[in-house]
Amino acid sequence: MYHCINSNLAAVRDGTKGMCMKQSGDRKAFGKYHDIMVLFLGFFLTTIVGGYLSYSWQTRSAEFQINAEQKRYEIQAATKVFEEISSLMDKRLYRMRRINMGLGNKVDSEVMDIRWTHYRETLFEWNENLNRNLALTQIYFGQEARNILQHNIQTKFINLGRMLESGRVFKGGNNTYEKRQLVADDLNNYIYTFDLMLIKNIQNGSIGSFMGKE
């Protein structure tokens, strides 16, 4: 204090304006309310930031759960589509093989009539659901799978069916049991490869709206 007075007196003598100021280093930003304001700001920031982070986490968690549920549903639906189509293809091919075996072994006509009836029932079921199965295959397994089913497997089924119908009327020639058996074996390989492709897609979760996202 005495140093401050002496400094001011010296300034008066020298004709200058003297000031004795308290060091500002210990001043607080909010004055006497500094501690309260710091506490308030800390609470405010914690509430706002914490609330935002909590909301963001809950939103992402909800989106993840919805996405997981949707994928689970589509996998179940795709599995059902695969089982129906695969079972129908196997049944149709099996009944065609039985007809071919009957033609080759000259089985009794009554037995053959039953086999033909069973085959035509399967053929009717196949044709009745053809467009539906093609559409479902495309939706859940993609355009490539649909093309294989429509242009490869379906075409081979038609070809083998015509050979069986022809073999029932005309004996001998190029339409032999062995020839038809080779066509059936080739069709069986196509069906197996097709089934394997669909199963892998289901296992990888690359089905429906999730195709290409893995």
Spell out the domain ranges in the chain: 71-210
Tens place of pLDDT per residue across the chain (214 aa): 444 444 444 444 555 544 444 444 456 655 666 666 666 666 666 777 666 666 566 666 666 676 878 889 999 999 999 999 999 999 999 999 999 999 989 889 999 999 999 999 999 999 999 999 999 999 999 999 999 999 999 999 999 999 999 998 877 677 899 999 999 999 999 999 999 999 999 999 999 988 876 5
The CB-side HSE value for 60 (13 A sphere, CA atoms) comes to: 5
**What's the CATH number for 71-210?**
1.20.120
